[in-house]
Structure formats: structure tokens, C-alpha cells
Amino acid sequence: MKELVEHIVRSLVDHPGDVKVEVINQGGQTVIELHVAEEDMGRVIGKDGKVANAIRTLLRVVAAREGQRIQLEIV
């Protein structure tokens, strides 16, 4: 799932080298922390959070297939 987030976000931003994805396991849930350049934050979040919500939806679908719970945090 880390690779999926990296691929999607790097195709959206102007500074793909600044994209960092960290996976943290907390109990039965996986938290993915996404770090991007300050200038690219708007592109990743999108208007009214539509892009971020779309990425979260894709992650939930993949996680559900594997029987996992996942959360995306953009920091």
C-alpha cells in the first residue's frame, strides 16, 4: 500500500523527490503518514479535500481486500 500511495502522490506533485511515506502499525490498524513539500500540499489535498478523500477511498478498498484497516494522514 505504501507503493500505491507513493505512485499516486508523485504523479500529482511538482516535487516528487520530496514525497515520503511512512507506515506505522498501531494495534489492528495501519497508519500511513504522507509527507510532501509545503508547495505541493494543496495539490495533494485538493479543493474541499476531494483528492485526499479519493486517495483514502482507494486505500480503504485495497485494505478491505486484505482484511486490514488503514488510515491516511497528510502531514
Structurally, the chain folds into a number of domains equal to 1
Q: How confident is the model at residue 27 (pLDDT cuts 50, 70, 90)?
A: confident
- At residue 72, the pLDDT reads 95
Q: What is the CATH number of the domain that holds 22?
A: 3.30.300.20
8 Å CB contact between 63 and 1: yes
Q: What is the mean pLDDT of residues 25-29?
A: 88
The Cα-based distances of 39 to 5, 44, 66 in angstroms read 18, 10, 34
- At residue 28, the pLDDT reads 84
pLDDT of 8 above 90:
yes
Q: Cell numbers for 25, please give them.
A: 502499525
Domain extent at residue 23? 2-74
